[in-house]
Amino acid sequence: MTTPYFSRRSLLGLAGAGAGAIILSGCGGDDDNSGGGGKSGNATINWWHISNTDPGLTVYANIAKAYESAHPGVKINITPLENEAFKAKLTTVTQAGNPPDIFHSWGGGVLENQVSAGLVKEFPADAQSWLSTINKHGLEAYQVNGKQYGVPFDLGAVGFWYNKELFEKAKVTEIPKTWSEFLDVVQKIKAAGITPIALAGAEKWPAHFYWSYLAIRYAGVDGLEKAAKDGSFDTDDFVKAGEAFKKLIDLQPFQKGFLGAKYSANDGQAGIMGNGLAAMELMGQWAGPTEAAYSTSKEGIGDKLGFFPFPGLDPGENGKGSPDDVFGGGNGMAVGKNAPDEAFEYVKYFLSVDNQKKLVTEAGGVIPVVQGAETALTDENLKMVQQLVAKAPKFQMYLDQKYPPALGTQVNDSVAELVAGKASPEKVAQDIAKTAKTL
């Protein structure tokens, strides 16, 4: 998948090599091109990231060049990779025990596996002063047993991105606040001859957003945490989440051929939205620039694009979650086990307020994590996302990243079966619970 800037795509594929990869990673040699491990002032840092197209590609390069200019002894070798290529190549080098000095990370279960395999370095004690300026929800996604093994540089929330013009054509005048109101909006849009929702059914992860958010509303973030520990995904709260999602699925709101559609494609979810062919998509903070990148005009729908939070439950539903709890995640960086100490200095530099603002103003689709950088946001939709995260009582990371890869894969697979009409809400809950209980 080619990304215009950032993608939410999970690293589940990295776990495909299984236990053997972890064992091998511990046996690999310390062959590295990093230039040593001491703070000598002279070092070569190998940095892999997934911002492989402009504007992000150039922004990254310019930040690295500026750092090199200020630190003449340091050389930063950049390897920009497309998402799937990144996963494949990172698997290969981690099997050999030689991860890049700095590499893209989404935290969660895959990072935990990398920590267990001894592939990444813990952030040093002297980093605490600048780490304290970073959003706490974001930091937690990169912690393992209370220790910091990575940092976010972007943190946002999943929500509904909608086409204001199509809402007007369907005479939808109010943003839905509850799930039943949302279902009413979907029916109204469909009755107007407009495709209500674009969905990349072939990739599974976009569909898991719906079930996961509804699980947060019914079970709460605490309920999800408990279920991940004891396997209790088969309780009523999770069945209810599936039943609520099925009510939407039964309305047939998605575009024709959605089960075979990809996300990042001209005829996929992003392109459909970018070309104004659907009224909504449930997606993260990168939605706007990704829609534009895969639209025919390469500009998307511009100021016709709006954003609203995922709805709460209906009165009387008695969900355990708050309607202000947020589901989302972001992008970050981890430091490989062979990296020189200068790698941490570069990560600190990359997370400076000035560079965070550059990502916001020059790269687009970024929700900054460092205090003070949010002032650079001018896009009204992204301001809404940032404020949504800032006020969230609780924050739940994407389930297919937060959980161990086997469980994350099961969530995606089971929800995909629900969407395709191959599994009931009860079976979805039971299958996820069965996998969770084996871990």
Do 352 and 310 sit in the same domain of this protein? no
For 337, residues 6+ apart whose C-beta sits below 8 A from its C-beta are 97, 99, 118, 119, 120, 121
Read off the pLDDT of residues 79-137 as tens digits, 9 standing for 90 and up.
Answer: 999 887 998 999 999 999 999 999 999 998 889 999 999 999 999 999 999 999 999 89
Boundaries of domain holding 376 = 12-155+328-397
User: Which of the residue ranges 37-46, 144-153, 239-248, 364-373 would you say has the lowest mean pLDDT?
Assistant: 37-46
Q: What percent of the chain has a predicted confidence (pLDDT) above 70? A: 91
Q: What is the mean pLDDT of residues 15-43?
A: 41
How many structural domains compose the chain?
Answer: 2
Task: Label residue 405 by pLDDT band (50, 70, 90).
Answer: confident
Is the pLDDT score of 35 beyond 60? no
Do 172 and 280 sit in the same domain of this protein? yes
Domain membership of residue 299 (yes or no) is yes
Is the pLDDT score of 38 beyond 60? no
Strand partners, 305: 163
Domain membership of residue 184 (yes or no) is yes
Do 136 and 151 sit in the same domain of this protein? yes
Residue 54: predicted pLDDT:
87
Residue 53: predicted pLDDT:
85
Do 28 and 120 sit in the same domain of this protein? yes
Q: What is the mean pLDDT of residues 428-436?
A: 98
Do 365 and 407 sit in the same domain of this protein? no
Is the pLDDT score of 210 beyond 70? yes
Name the more confident of 333 and 14.
Answer: 333
Q: Which two tokens stand for residue 211?
A: 């079930």
Q: What is the mean pLDDT of residues 200-222?
A: 97
Do 136 and 163 sit in the same domain of this protein? no
Residue 11: predicted pLDDT:
39
Do 202 and 215 sit in the same domain of this protein? yes
Read off the pLDDT of residues 265-301 as tens digits, 9 standing for 90 and up.
Answer: 999 999 999 999 999 999 998 899 899 999 999 999 9
Do 224 and 261 sit in the same domain of this protein? yes
Residue 364: predicted pLDDT:
74
Is the pLDDT score of 394 beyond 60? yes
Q: What is the mean pLDDT of residues 308-319?
A: 95
Residue 83: predicted pLDDT:
81
Read off the pLDDT of residues 169-204 as tens digits, 9 standing for 90 and up.
Answer: 999 999 999 999 999 999 999 999 999 999 999 999
User: Which of the residue ranges 4-8, 267-271, 358-362 would you say has the lowest mean pLDDT?
Assistant: 4-8
Q: What integer best gives the mean pLDDT of the chain?
A: 90
Count how many Cα atoms sit within 13 Å of the Cα of residue 115 in the half-sphere of its side chain: 20
DSSP, collapsed to helix, strand or coil, labels residue 160 as strand
Name the more confident of 357 and 439.
Answer: 357
Domain membership of residue 7 (yes or no) is no
What is the CA 273 to chain-centroid distance, rounded?
A: 19
Do 91 and 47 sit in the same domain of this protein? yes
Q: List helix spans (H) across 231-301.
A: 236-249, 269-274, 287-293
Residue 366: predicted pLDDT:
87
Domain membership of residue 3 (yes or no) is no
Do 416 and 304 sit in the same domain of this protein? yes
Cβ-count burial of 139 within 10 angstroms (0-12 exposed, 13-18 middle, 19+ buried)?
buried
Do 191 and 303 sit in the same domain of this protein? yes
- 381 contacts 161 by C-beta, under 8 angstroms: yes
For 140, residues 6+ apart whose C-beta sits below 8 A from its C-beta are 395
- 289 contacts 161 by C-beta, under 8 angstroms: no
Do 107 and 146 sit in the same domain of this protein? yes
Is the pLDDT score of 37 beyond 60? no
Residue 299: predicted pLDDT:
96
Domain membership of residue 6 (yes or no) is no
Residue 55: predicted pLDDT:
86
Is the pLDDT score of 33 beyond 60? no
Q: What is the mean pLDDT of residues 320-336?
A: 96
Task: Label residue 363 by pLDDT band (50, 70, 90).
Answer: confident
Is the pLDDT score of 32 beyond 80? no
Q: What is the mean pLDDT of residues 296-324?
A: 96
Read off the pLDDT of residues 145-172 as tens digits, 9 standing for 90 and up.
Answer: 999 999 999 999 999 999 999 999 999 9
Q: Please tell me the distance from the alpha carbon of residue 279 to that of residue 399, in angstroms, as a whole number.
A: 26
Reported as type and span, the H/E element at residue 434 is helix 425-437
- CATH value at residue 80: 3.40.190.10
Domain membership of residue 425 (yes or no) is yes
Domain membership of residue 2 (yes or no) is no
Residue 28: predicted pLDDT:
34
